[in-house]
Structure 1
């Protein structure tokens, strides 16, 4: 199946960028970063399998656990409502990227690489510090490595840990934008 040079899903201008080492086997019809519509997450999950549904669910849970100042919760009552009505859509400030992170051109972004194995294949440099066997941070590059977005690897407790790590490490990025 052709991917037409798709580099990711979501908001092209997203400041909350998650990187994954694989891509869904789904026809998107155009290149670049493709903003999803309300129905796309369901469609991709049905067409590409349960693994992709889990990736989207964990991404939504993570974004929804962040403080309101990050701007993801808005008026949504649940992470499911957030996932279905905002995640990876135009203006959502979220992206799921299938390319290695560009850490030089976007200093105003939080970069999250999912999966230790994928992160090691990227050669992310000397600044990456492992805080435990599953999570690493590079403050200068605004980068976090975490477990793959799957319920077994990134459980609810680990999602909360990651959310707290993002808040403690990168809060100023989002508070400055919401004030300015």
Structure 2
């Protein structure tokens, strides 16, 4: 099965979401579509505040992660700059996938939302009510990318789990 979603087709940092934005042909696409500059903003304006929050939290996670071996923040000075200039673009090493995870490589896999993770039937070790891991698969389940569900404090936890799963330890950038 081929990945379906937004971003870099060769991404090694993959986030999985249960729904798709109602934008362009994203409801029917069966491939990974890289976004161009300004498209994240257009999706947020067209599809609502929920999608804007998903993109914002995704950028905040990667900016806080600050790990060039996983995803380069491209000299961005803020998470907003990273989001607007690099997130989900062709060579960003990031993707937001609508297809279930294929756990066959050394990619970092993040499944957004406990309910979605449970529906996938994954073998998981729950760390607490919010986070689970599958260490052999480099898979992490976290709260949905929304400010209330994945607060800045929980972003720090997610960043630490990503570092543990990847074996990379850089310093966290402040949000």
TM-score (norm 2): 0.89
**Cα distance between partner residues in 2 of 1:23 and 1:71:** 23
Instruction: Give the alignment of 1:10-49 within 5 angstroms.
Output: 10-28=7-25, 31-49=30-48
Report Cα offsets for 1:60-92 as digits up to 9, x if no partner: 000111133334322100000000000000110
Query: Alpha carbon RMSD of aligned pairs, Å?
Result: 1.9
Instruction: Verify the 8 A CA contact 1:11 1:89 in the aligned structure 2.
Output: yes
**Residues matched between the structures, number:** 166
**Cα distance between partner residues in 2 of 1:36 and 1:171:** 29
Residue 121 to residue 31, structure 1, CA distance change in 2 (3 Å): closer
Equivalent residue, structure 1, for 2:91: 91
Q: Report which of the two has the higher share of helix.
A: 1
TM-score (norm 1): 0.87
Equivalent residue, structure 2, for 1:81: 81
Q: For 1:68, what is the secondary structure of its paired residue?
A: coil
Structure 1: gaps spanning 5 or more residues: 1-5, 176-180
Instruction: Give the alignment of 1:1-180 within 5 angstroms.
Output: 7-28=4-25, 31-69=30-68, 70-104=70-104, 107-125=105-123, 128-172=124-168
Q: For 2:146, what is the secondary structure of its paired residue?
A: coil
Runs (4+) of structure 1 exceeding 6 A deviation are none
